Every structure is written in C-alpha cells, then in structure tokens.
Amino acid sequence: MPLRILALVAILACGLFFTATPAQAQSCNYALDDANFGSVTPIDNQEFYTQTTFHVTGCTGTANQTIKICLSLGGGSGSPTLPTPRLLVSGSNELSYDIYSDPSRTARWGSLSAGGSGTPPALFIPLDASGQQSGGEQTQTLYFKILSGQQAVPYGQYFSDFAPNHTGINADYTSGVCTSAGFIRADFNVSASIDETCDVLADAMDFGERGVLDANVEATANLSVDCTANTDYTVSLGNGQNGTSSTTRKMANGSATIAYDLYSDTDRSIVFGSAVGETVGGIGTGSSQTIPVYGRVPPQDTPPAGTYDDVVVVTVTY
C-alpha cells in the first residue's frame, strides 16, 4: 500500500508540472519621430530647443502583466562616442546638442551601454485580461537642446542619423529602472539649419563743440558687425538725411547745415558710402568685428550756433 501511494503522488506531481501556464513573450510596435531644430543662429550665444516623441502601440503578451520598455540612445552618426555631448555635423563642422528626458533639460537621455551618458527612463505598458495593450498608444517625449557658446560654428545644414545601431529598445516584464539594452531597434534623425545672418551696431560720431569752422574737425566712430562664421558680407553707409550722395552729407539745425564727410581709412582718403569702391567687406567669424568710420568736417562758413546732427543708415549685405 505505501508503494502505491508514492506512485500516485509522483504521477500527480508530474501532472502539476506539465499543466503550468508559461509566460507569453511580449511584442510591441515602436516608432520615433524625427527631431528638427529648424533655423538657429549661434551668433546670439543662446540655447535652442526642440522635442520629439517615442510611440509605443499594439503591445501583446501575458494577460494582466506590465511591460517595461527602455529606449537606450547612443551618440547618433555625428557622435562616435559618449558621454561627450552629441553632435550634429555638416561636412567637417560640428554643432553640439543633447537629448533629455525632462522639460527643463537637465536629465540626460543616455545609453545603457555607455557609462556616464545618463539613464534612459522606463515606460510601463499595462496589458489587459486578454494580453492586449491597455489604454491605447503610450508615448515618451524626448527633449533636445543645442548648447550655447557655439558662435564660431559656420552656416550649413547639420544632421545626425540614429540608425538602428544607435538605438536599443529593451522590453521585459521586470519592474524598476532600466538595467539592460535590448536588440529591438528604431530609426530617426536629428537636424538643424544654421543660416547666414548678420547683426550690426553703430556708435554715435561726435565732433564736439567748435566756435568757428576754419580748420578740419575730425572724429571717429565704430561699427560692430557680427555675422555667422564663413559668411561674406559688405557694409555700406547711406547719404544721411540731408545729403544727395556720399560726398554731400550735411548735419542740420533747422535750415542751417554743416557739411561733413565719412571715410573708411585713417588718412581720410577713401570715402565710405554705398557706391562701387566705397564699401567695406569682411568674412564673419561668429563674433563681433569692429569697422572704424573716420569723420571730418572741412573748413567752411560757420553757421549760427546750435546743435547739428544727421542720421546715416548702415547696411550690411550678405
């Protein structure tokens, strides 16, 4: 009798082993939207922002389980290594940017295979009683930032491709933070355009006070021109409010006037105007470049006492 009981117990144990339900492998559909900064102007020495979305749909698996999904991001085609900032490239030129998991752009979105690059955030997908994704599509927002302090980056189209070898999506039933990269992949790209642009500031030119205009009165003022690196530009000066050409400029006080001239050289021999041979050119560096303007009031009949002025338009063509 004891032997029969032992045999029956053994049979029951085998029956319990083979009727246990195994966990069903999870499966999801993934998509990553492209990220485009649009047109940016590094000469302003500021940060630029954009964002994009990671989409998860159609998950299936074991009923009433929760799938943890971790999107691990490498450096993209522009960045051979992490944890240095990610790069957008245009030929041999580089533009530094990075990807973050928070709107304030402080928590870097990293790669689980690159130490010190930041931690990917986990996305949790609940499955219903039929093993289908509950609640429809779920998403994560990726926040992007072009770093400041890159005024010298030349104009051009900048790009980085996150082809499959630069992304890794791990999906499993475990809880907690992301711990390992998977082999499911998603492809997207990041782009920005640096356009040719220029800013200009002009100092006032002050000839000071004079009693009579019986000798040359001279003064100097500076123009500050700031153009995108490698941008060719030309600076020209208008005729002023009271002149008809670059050699007939006048300061005025009512109907009374004082003739004056503007030059681009210290000898005051090359007229600074807008005609051929009167302009000044340069190539932008991304930083402010100083262009001096040399003024002269020649001897002339002295008009009535008062304050005389004029406004000259500065034009930068690029």
On whether the CB atoms of residues 160 and 69 are closer than 8 A, the answer is: no
In terms of Cα–Cα distance, which of 220, 218, 198 is closest to 318? 198
Give the up-direction half-sphere exposure of residue 190: CA atoms within 13 A in the CB hemisphere. Answer: 29
What is the per-residue pLDDT for 82?
A: 84
What is the per-residue pLDDT for 181?
A: 63
Residues in the chain: 318
How is domain 24-194 classified at the CATH fold level?
Answer: Immunoglobulin-like (2.60.40)
Q: Residue 28: what residue type?
A: C
What is the per-residue pLDDT for 23?
A: 56
Give me the residues paired with residue 3 across strands.
none
On whether the CB atoms of residues 192 and 48 are closer than 8 A, the answer is: yes
Query: Degrees (nearest 5) of the Cα angle 133, 161, 58?
Result: 10
One fold for both 24-194 and 198-317?
yes
Domain locations in the chain as residue ranges: 24-194, 198-317
What is the per-residue pLDDT for 18?
A: 27
Specify the pTM. 0.83
Q: What is the domain class of 198-317 according to CATH? A: mainly beta
Q: Torsions phi, psi of 18, nearest 5?
A: -80, -15
Tokens of 314: 């500065």
DSSP one-letter code for 85? P
In terms of Cα–Cα distance, which of 85, 81, 54, 88 is closest to 186? 54
In terms of Cα–Cα distance, which of 217, 304, 295, 297 is closest to 253? 304
pLDDT by residue for the chain (318 residues), tens digit each?
A: 333 333 323 323 333 222 334 457 889 999 999 999 999 999 999 999 999 999 999 999 999 999 999 999 999 999 878 888 999 999 999 999 999 999 999 999 998 888 788 888 999 999 999 999 999 999 999 999 999 999 999 999 999 999 878 888 999 998 888 877 666 778 999 999 999 999 999 999 999 999 999 999 999 999 999 999 999 999 999 999 999 999 999 999 999 999 999 999 999 999 999 999 999 999 999 999 999 999 999 999 999 999 999 999 999 999
What is the per-residue pLDDT for 163?
A: 86
E strands present in the chain: 27-32, 35-40, 48-60, 66-73, 86-90, 93-100, 122-126, 138-146, 156-162, 167-172, 188-194, 198-202, 217-227, 232-237, 250-253, 256-259, 261-263, 280-283, 288-297, 314-317
Cα 230 from Cα 239, distance rounded (Å): 29
Residue in the structure block whose two tokens are 């029951």: 12
In terms of Cα–Cα distance, which of 210, 99, 188 is closest to 144? 99
Name every residue whose Cβ is closer than 8 Å to that of residue 21 and which is 6 or more positions away in sequence: none
